[in-house]
């Protein structure tokens, strides 16, 4: 007696697909069979011949619980994730007060997350210039021992609770993280350049949206990535460029890989689809993120990077804010609005619509950039990111033909805005299953409310 | 009711392995289940936790039926293959009288093969200088339409029945094969150089084994590969270097790939393990092949090529001869002995022992070079070379720990010699299954004799 | 008392020019002085502020004396050279009966040349497949000891008296010439390809001029150069590509240089200025050379090659034929017409007009490609190719502004045709001086007839 | 009547030498003649067959006049230069109070220099973070118009009077200097890294000499050069790396050149000859410079860089200090001692002894790195750095065989120390001539005291 059978599942095998039935027992994939004749299960979900992917992974989210009560929390954030076919997120350490850079903070974060999340999650560890200066570097190994999957470093600060590093402090972080064998993800923008040109543009009286992208320019990211590559080469650390925004960045990471340097990168949906001139003009603060949106040329270079492997996988940098208080209130300008946009709900649909369906990405590459590669990179594979016998029974069922339009009013995120608003897509998540439990069903506009307490309990408490 | 269940199968999934049970129905893989509880099957094979690979592919064999009665035929050759875990061979067009370069010859070849073979097979098409000169190039498209998977061209002849091409004739062949979209595999040795130095060494009185390798030198292969790359670039043909022997060759093909040229290559077991000074001295004519065995440095460069992808997959160039008549009879010298050695029985064991078990190749790369890549290259994937629901139920079950020694006396090939004699390996094929039928069982020293006529009938007649 | 003072000479110094007066004593440059006040000389030539270059070098000529009586001889050929500002030629070994591949033939050639030449000269040595086959390779070192400056090898034969090499014979030539330390210049066209496509085009009935260029195609040169590079790498020989015609050739030689291989190349004026479609249509046999004229794209790539150093210097392949007997007589077709055109008279004017005056080449690069580099390459520097105290007093005085039109009727060559006919140039040789003797004066339409016997005697007999 | 004839001068012509006599009139080279017969001159210097080079150039000196009275001034500094065969220095803008970043300061500097210098000189302009912040960037073009040859920027400050730039300030400087077409020379060390590790080493209690080199580590220079290259690429500025110390720097600049970026670099004698472990241990503060002395490996990579062109020329960073007050006084440590060593007196002897005489550099390359290339780079060629008719009559006469030992007690610099002390050299400057006036004669232990006022007057006041 299986717990679940997913019937008529078309599953990816390389660039091919195969029609099969997926057996689930005790939260794991128990098998694939061409016929369910004779097999019994407590529950049957009929995929009706749609593509069934391994559950997607968003390895870069900012759930902003304690200290930021009016922002995205684990309830709204995880609901948004599963609506996007995401079965695992990996959350950043920066958006709490205090930030999550010790075992004590990690324990506190897990307590809060476990009580609220409907999506499985892993955690980023943190290390800052303050840790270097104060002699707190022992926290690095302790966080690693506790189970974080990577460490985040900010060259340019995004939130006041998480101090940036100077160049030598970053080098010290690389040395320390290298010992753990875990990746070190850097927010790669040259601080002094960002600071200087933002102030210069402010002094010049620029108040338009595009000013944000022009002030935090491509060169600031380029030289930051070059510095990261040199530090990775010098220390042996596993450099990862989080939310890389520029095409030149993809080129640099691709070249570094060829030279044998352990360097990886991620793109985000907005860096594949939006150009700053249009998006910042139209959406202003609601399209404000850091690094900023770039040009159409960068969009194309990122698609190319996804194809040729210089970009390893997708993530979202999901960081939505309360629209009224932080984006549109009286006195809010492009300079003081908080940078951040939602992402989890639309990442996979965009890759499927604009990548797979338009022929930019092959099927196997689609699986890699949405699921497999991040899972491998963060040590969660093949429990996550794989569709093997024994893997967690996490799935995203996708209707490749369904056309729809992005509308923030129908999203689960608390924020109510997205610069992708109005984008027409072809391909939609119709069901998300985590460890054998259906957590999102498009037909029912979400299924969480319908789950029993026991069912809900089964899909939380799962810090990998 | 399944036809077959393979229980306790440890199957490769990327670089991981997963323990499962494989269901087989009507010659195809019908499913993978973690428990066979409730599943019924006519036959059960217990893999006992051993690694179960997709059946291996040897895409370069010379079965020498009509016209060469005293050589390897489809009975002995296919028996040797399955003993090596090989479930599919792709046979070359050159070793018949006349050679196989027309639909008529292909039909004749299939008739003979089908009556004798126990291994599945595909066929190489053929094109020669004679076809160019005589205006027979229409045969190329006709062979493609008939179903050959690639075309073979000889820059230097190996058998009298299959004329070589001059440089412009080769260019004409590239142009014609390019139209079919199929690969063109070249025996890459500069004819004039081989001919000149062999005659020079003969004139100098050299009669030692190493003279063969020194006469047909590395440079003759290098410049032939360079010519092939230029022709591929000029015509768009899919260049494939069969039985590539040199490390410099791997380097050239790797560079051509980077420049976007459609170029691939294969190595053979003897180019990974033997150096000519030792092997040609010890085995003389019994180690004589073309291209010849090279140096230990080339061995290492080929392992590196398998790792970095400049070598795409393994094949054997399996071409054994009757020992008495063609290798050791009175008057036979290193110059007039026929070039050729057996290979199918030992290719996979060598890759597993010297590659996988010694850490030279990862598990995923082992699967690629023994099965997946050749199947993809020749258009047989995912029917062959894959372990998916719906793929042919072809498997090689391998005991990774079993130690043994290569001994031609226990091989199925008719030849009775191998320059690998005495090589100690760790890792042995214990069962081979083709389309759900056990065709080799190490414990029973082969199972063919025990198959019923109906069973035997099921595994022949399978020109894909 | 100096023998000669050249007053008001503007001389190149790097990319600058300096106005000076040049002192000549005993055939050498004795000094440069800013004022001739007090200096006495037997003769004074006033350069009137024109540019005075070191005498130019044409290192690739075919003077066709004994055995080819009705062709260019040393009288007409050397007169043509000095009219082009050339003070030294290096003559090829192929156009005599028998060809010049022994000391005996060299001695004979010098006897004839010395009696006729007005230009200084060096000699190419020769080596052919016949020398390899017949065991005559000792001739190589003997020619080197006698004083040849390089060795010529034909991959594809141009004249019946000078056999081509097969690939291994060429390798043997490389090995032997490598020992001498001298360059080995190859006529780089794949023989079998040239032969095959010429015959194919003939069989197809093509009789138009462009057919010649299309039959002896770019690829035949490309693969020949690749072979030469591989042989140079294998043997350490100093590979030189004579009369390189293709842009891809320049690219290959440039890359080989970067990889540290000792490889050089020369272009000719017709490869910089003519495209085959126009020139072969208009001039037919009178534009027929081997390798043939290529495309406008190749023209541009050769200018780029001259700039970036992948082409080392210019030469002419000067090989004119009697118009009536070998280009236009009854029954002459594009296939059986003799390949060859004149060049010495127009090489420098074309480089000056189309290169220097049009900004394609800098002044320093102009000096290098017309004089310095060839002199260095063939070991004649700084005696030749330099304008130093102590160098031979060889000069070409050039009027950069003078406009004129190429007209074979006014040329010294015996041939009376040139595919450059009608080309308008800006920049003309106005005086040529060899070892202090004025041998050409544009104002006097040549000065040779006016020289005394003693003067003439002084400028012959100068095998360097 | 010439002013001067230098008889029996062996002059370099490419890699050859030619024996000649040099005529000088009105401070310029008036000619070269093989015989002085009949030529008259007011003065004759017999070079006795020694090599006569164009006067050498040191394009990186720190003469420390007003504000630093007890340091090297123009009298001692220029005397030291001419003893080293140097006829032109280009002086840095940083070592005055206030520093030289305006036309007013330039005028003041010239007044002081002209009254004291015996060597010809050019001037670096200056631009700092302060100029960016205070809105003084108009000074850049004004300095260019006044005649400076380049602009100096400090990423890490060396003297309190000359503020460093932050990264964006440096970018602003690149943009501004790009408009002038002049080079921008950067002191390439990452400030934060130098500062951090110096403080860390101090905190760790390191007081040994090598600590200085280990604290200001290779990586700080590497990432600074990478930043400079990115800024040069972004702005089109002519990047020059002054006093480059690392081998990796040479590699980076070489690669940037190949990518078409306008980047150049200079090495200094101490980066070619000293390793920090030995030199800093032995000499301590007296070997303290910034960037610091590196390893023997870096020495070798710099010789290679000089050969392959990734290093364009030599300079000295000549900056000597009063030994008692700034290097050895009570309380002076490796951390607070002033960084700086002398250089002008030994640069050319070291290149000649260790480069030319030991076969590391060819003769032509020796001339380029000591004279020609810097003159071209700073726009002073062919007035300086050339030995042409019309060039300034600046010469260094060198006895290639003379053996001697570096001894600070016999040097003209005021400092009395050098970390090169005791180094044995072969090759010595025996005479230096500037614009036709003998300013140093080794036989007379300097000739300045013997010059008349009129003669002295002639060789000062020569801001080019
Ligand atoms: Zn960030
Ligand atoms: Zn983020
Ligand atoms: Zn073969
Ligand atoms: Zn074969
Ligand atoms: Zn030729
Ligand atoms: Zn020729
Ligand atoms: Zn400095
Ligand atoms: Zn300095």
Q: Same domain, yes or no, for D44 and D87?
A: no
Q: Give the model confidence (pLDDT) of A117-149 as tens digits.
A: 889 999 999 999 999 999 999 999 999 999 999
Which of A166, A196, A230 minimises the CB distance to D223? A230
pLDDT band at B412 (very low <50, low <70, confident <90, very high): confident
Which candidate, B316, B305, B339, B321, places its Cα nearest to that of B90? B316
Chain C residues with CB under 8 Å of B219 CB are 171, 230-231, 234
Q: Give the model confidence (pLDDT) of B51-110 as tens digits.
A: 999 999 999 999 976 666 678 888 889 999 999 999 999 999 998 878 999 999 999 999
Are the beta carbons of C195 and B168 separated by less than 8 Å? yes
Chain C residues with CB under 8 Å of D33 CB are 23, 30-33, 389
Measured in Å, residue B291 CA sits from the centre of ligand 3 at 7
Q: What is the mean pLDDT of the segment spanning C428-455?
A: 82
Q: Give the model confidence (pLDDT) of D261-272 as tens digits.
A: 999 999 999 999
Containing structural domain, residue D25: 2-52+390-458
| C406 in a structural domain | no
Q: Same domain, yes or no, for A357 and A448?
A: no
Which of A18, A381, A382 minimises the CB distance to B388? A18
Highest mean pLDDT among A291-300, A445-454, C104-113: A291-300
Chain A residues with CB under 8 Å of B14 CB are 381-382, 386
**Percent helix / strand / coil, chain D, rounded to 5:** 40, 25, 40
Task: Output the six-digit token pair for A161.
Answer: 């609770």
The domain boundary, picked from C377, C412, C434, lies at C377
Which candidate, A36, B52, D254, places its Cα nearest to that of C258? D254
Measured in Å, residue D364 CA sits from the centre of ligand 7 at 29
Displacement of CA A381 from its chain's centroid (Å): 16
Q: Same domain, yes or no, for B75 and B192?
A: yes
Ion ligand 1: residues, CB < 5 A: A 187
Measured in Å, residue C99 CA sits from the centre of ligand 5 at 14
| D384 in a structural domain | no
Helix A218-235 to helix D218-235 angle, to the nearest 10 degrees?
150
Q: Indicate whether B149 pLDDT > 90.
A: yes
Q: Same domain, yes or no, for A246 and A222?
A: yes
Q: Indicate whether B125 pLDDT > 90.
A: yes
Return d(Cα A256, Cα A246) in angstroms, integer: 16
| D464 in a structural domain | no
B-side interface with A, Cβ within 8 Å?
A: 11, 13-14, 16, 18-21, 23, 25, 28-35, 38-40, 381-382, 386, 388-390
What region does D435 belong to: left with phi over 0, alpha with psi -120 to 50, or beta?
Answer: left
Are the beta carbons of D197 and A168 separated by less than 8 Å? yes
Q: Same domain, yes or no, for B314 and B219?
A: yes
Q: Nearest-CA distance from D41 to chain C in Å?
A: 13
Question: What is the overall mean pLDDT for chain D?
Answer: 93
Are the beta carbons of A226 and D223 separated by less than 8 Å? yes
Task: Output the six-digit token pair for B306.
Answer: 């398998």
Which candidate, C105, C56, C64, places its Cα nearest to that of C384? C56
Chain D residues with CB under 8 Å of C16 CB are 382, 388
Chain D residues with CB under 8 Å of A171 CB are 193, 219
Measured in Å, residue C344 CA sits from the centre of ligand 5 at 16
| D463 in a structural domain | no
- Mutation site, A166, A170, A171, interface D, largest D CB count within 10 A: A171
- List of residues 6+ apart from C359 with CB closer than 8 A: none
pLDDT given at position B128: 97
Give the torsion sign (CA, B396, B401, B406, B409). Answer: negative
pLDDT band at D97 (very low <50, low <70, confident <90, very high): confident
Q: Same domain, yes or no, for D202 and D142?
A: yes
Closest ligand to B189 CA?
3
Q: What is the ipTM, given to two decimal places?
A: 0.85
pLDDT band at D160 (very low <50, low <70, confident <90, very high): confident
- Please give the radius of gyration of chain C, using alpha carbons only, rounded to the nearest integer: 21
Q: Same domain, yes or no, for C86 and C214?
A: yes
User: Which secondary structure element, helix H or strand E, spans residue D229, and what is its range?
Assistant: helix D218-235
Q: Nearest-CA distance from C201 to chain B in Å?
A: 13
Size of interface A-B (CB pairs under 8 A): 86
Q: Indicate whether C259 pLDDT > 60.
A: yes
Considering only residues A37 and D367, tell me which one the structure prediction assigns the higher pLDDT: D367
Count the residues in chain D.
464
| C127 in a structural domain | yes
User: A26: nearest CA in chain B?
Assistant: B34
Chain D residues with CB under 8 Å of C14 CB are 381-382, 386
- Number of structural domains chain A divides into: 2
Considering only residues D266 and A325, tell me which one the structure prediction assigns the higher pLDDT: D266
User: A23: nearest CA in chain B?
Assistant: B33
Q: Same domain, yes or no, for A238 and A372?
A: yes
pLDDT band at D73 (very low <50, low <70, confident <90, very high): confident
Residue C322 carries which DSSP code?
A: -
Return d(Cα D350, Cα D352) in angstroms, integer: 5
User: CATH number of the domain that B126 lies in?
Assistant: 3.20.20.140
Q: Give the model confidence (pLDDT) of D402-420 as tens digits.
A: 999 999 888 888 888 999 9
Convert D37-63 to b/e letters by CB count within 10 Å (16 or more is b). Answer: eebebeeebebeebbbbbbbbbbbbbb
- List of residues 6+ apart from B52 with CB closer than 8 A: B6, B9, B10, B11, B22, B387, B395, B396, B397, B398
Q: Same domain, yes or no, for A437 and A348?
A: no
Q: Same domain, yes or no, for B63 and B86?
A: yes
Q: Indicate whether D456 pLDDT > 70.
A: no
Cβ pair B399, B391 in contact under 8 A: no
Q: Nearest-CA distance from C251 to chain B in Å?
A: 14
User: CATH number of the domain that D7 lies in?
Assistant: 2.30.40.10
Ion ligand 3: residues, CB < 5 A: B 187
Chains that touch B (3 or more CB pairs under 8 A): A, C
| C352 in a structural domain | yes
User: A230: nearest CA in chain D?
Assistant: D223
Which candidate, C141, A172, C397, C305, places its Cα nearest to that of D196? A172
Which of C168, C190, C234 minimises the CB distance to B196? C168
Size of interface A-D (CB pairs under 8 A): 52
Are the beta carbons of D196 and A234 separated by less than 8 Å? no
Residue in this structure with the two tokens 């690694």, named with its chain if needed? B51
pLDDT band at C458 (very low <50, low <70, confident <90, very high): low
| D418 in a structural domain | yes
Q: Same domain, yes or no, for D104 and D32?
A: no
Q: Indicate whether A269 pLDDT > 50.
A: yes
pLDDT given at position D462: 47
| D382 in a structural domain | no
Q: Same domain, yes or no, for B302 and B330?
A: yes
Chain A residues with CB under 8 Å of B35 CB are 25, 30-31
Residue A318 carries which DSSP code?
A: B
CA distances from B442 to B85, B354, B411, B455 (A): 11, 21, 12, 19
Among A250-264, A300-314, C301-315, D105-119, which stretch is predicted with the lowest mean pLDDT?
D105-119
Q: Indicate whether C461 pLDDT > 70.
A: no
The domain boundary, picked from D377, D401, D416, lies at D377
Q: What is the mean pLDDT of the segment spanning D311-338?
A: 89
The domain boundary, picked from A377, A398, A422, lies at A377
């Amino acid at each position: 007696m299986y717990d679940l059978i997913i019937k008529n599942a078309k599953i990816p095998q390389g660039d091919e697909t195969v029609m099969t039935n997926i057996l689930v027992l005790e939260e794991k994939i128990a098998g694939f069979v061409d016929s369910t004749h004779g097999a019994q299960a407590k529950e049957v979900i009929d995929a009706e011949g749609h593509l069934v992917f391994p559950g997607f992974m968003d390895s870069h989210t900012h759930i902003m619980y304690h200290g930021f009560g009016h922002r995205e929390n684990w309830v709204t954030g995880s609901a948004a994730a599963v609506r996007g076919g995401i079965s695992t997120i990996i959350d950043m350490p920066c958006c709490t007060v205090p930030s999550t850079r010790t075992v004590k903070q990690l324990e506190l974060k897990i307590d809060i997350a476990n009580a609220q999340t409907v999506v499985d999650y892993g955690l980023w560890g943190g290390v800052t210039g303050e840790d270097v200066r104060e002699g707190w570097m022992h926290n690095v190994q302790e966080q690693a021992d506790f189970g974080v999957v990577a460490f985040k470093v900010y060259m340019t600060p995004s939130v006041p609770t998480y101090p940036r590093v100077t160049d030598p402090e970053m080098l010290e972080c690389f040395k320390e993280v290298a010992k753990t064998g875990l990746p070190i993800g850097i927010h790669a923008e040259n601080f002094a350049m960002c600071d200087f040109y933002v102030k210069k543009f402010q002094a010049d009286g620029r108040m338009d949206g595009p000013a944000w992208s022009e002030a935090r320019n491509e060169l600031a990211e380029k030289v930051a990535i070059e510095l990261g590559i040199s530090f990775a080469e010098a220390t042996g650390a596993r450099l990862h460029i989080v939310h890389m925004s520029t095409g030149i960045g993809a080129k640099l990471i691709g070249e570094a890989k060829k030279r044998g340097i352990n360097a990886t990168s991620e793109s985000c949906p907005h860096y594949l689809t939006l150009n700053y001139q249009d998006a910042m003009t139209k959406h202003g603060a609601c399209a404000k993120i850091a690094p900023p949106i770039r040009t159409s040329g960068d969009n194309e270079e990122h698609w190319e990077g996804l194809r040729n492997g210089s970009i390893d996988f997708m993530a979202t940098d999901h960081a939505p804010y309360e629209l009224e208080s932080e984006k549109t209130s009286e006195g809010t300008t492009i300079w003081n609005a908080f940078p951040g946009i939602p992402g989890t709900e639309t990442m996979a649909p965009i890759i499927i619509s604009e990548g797979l369906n338009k022929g930019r990405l092959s099927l196997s590459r689609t699986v890699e950039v949405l699921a497999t590669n991040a899972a491998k990179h963060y040590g969660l594979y093949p429990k996550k990111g794989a569709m093997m016998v024994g893997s967690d029974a996490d799935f995203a069922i996708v209707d490749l033909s369904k056309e729809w339009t992005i509308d923030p009013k129908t999203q689960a995120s608390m924020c109510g805005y997205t610069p992708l608003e109005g984008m027409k897509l072809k391909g939609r998540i119709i069901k998300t299953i985590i460890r054998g439990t259906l957590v999102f069903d498009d037909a029912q506009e979400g299924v969480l409310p319908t789950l029993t307490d026991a069912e809900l309990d089964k899909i939380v408490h799962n810090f990998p």
